[in-house]
Amino acid sequence: MKELNCLVGDKLPKFKAGALNGDILSNKNLLSSEFNLFNFWFIGCPPCIEELDELNELKQRSNLSILSFCRDSKEEIQNSDLDFSFPVVPAAGQLIEDVFAIPYGYPTNILTDCRGRIISVFLSIDKRYNSFAELDSIIGGL
């Protein structure tokens, strides 16, 4: 989709946020991996929930660094039966809107290189669609 690729080549905005586990995350400590995937979602979004298994698998099978930004509160996330193998930033609605300015809907995933340059933007990471295969080819195979 052309409108998704308008961000390609841009630098990821600077941010600082607290994860569910209490860690403070920012560009500096997240961009140490060759590739970084920034995931934006909320609990009431069925495609967002469906892709969590794919994201967990990607994290387990690759050196991809994943950081997830959820619009829902810490309590809502903790009370869900969702599992994560990557950091999740709760109550990130304002950060998503004001810093990342995500205009595409949910889920949205932004892939960056180690310098924070945006390589690709995906609406969903799903094995049923080309997005999983495209991401797989970019990061060098799972």
Q: What is the DSSP string of 67-115?
A: EEEESS-HHHHHHS----SS-EESS-HHHIIIII---S-SSEEEEEETT
- Contact between residue 98 and residue 71 where contact means Cβ atoms under 8 Å apart: no
Judged against a pLDDT cut of 90, whether residue 6 lies above it is answered with no
- Contact between residue 73 and residue 91 where contact means Cβ atoms under 8 Å apart: yes
pLDDT at 97: 87
pLDDT tens string 30-65:
667 788 999 999 999 999 999 898 888 888 878 888
CA distance 21 to 124: 25
Q: Closest by alpha carbon to 46, among 131, 129, 106, 126?
A: 106
pLDDT tens string 17-33:
999 999 998 887 766 77
Strand 35-41, strand 65-70: pairing: parallel
Q: Which are the contacts of 35, defined by CB distance < 8 A and separation ≥ 6?
A: 63, 64, 65, 111, 112, 113, 114, 119, 138, 139
Round the average pLDDT of the chain to a whole number and report it.
83
pTM of the model: 0.86
- Contact between residue 49 and residue 80 where contact means Cβ atoms under 8 Å apart: no
Burial 44-54 (b: 16+ CB within 10 A, else e): ebeebeebbeb
Strand order in the sheet with 88-89: 88-89, 65-70, 35-41, 108-113, 118-122
Domains in the chain: ranges and CATH: 4-138 (3.40.30.10)
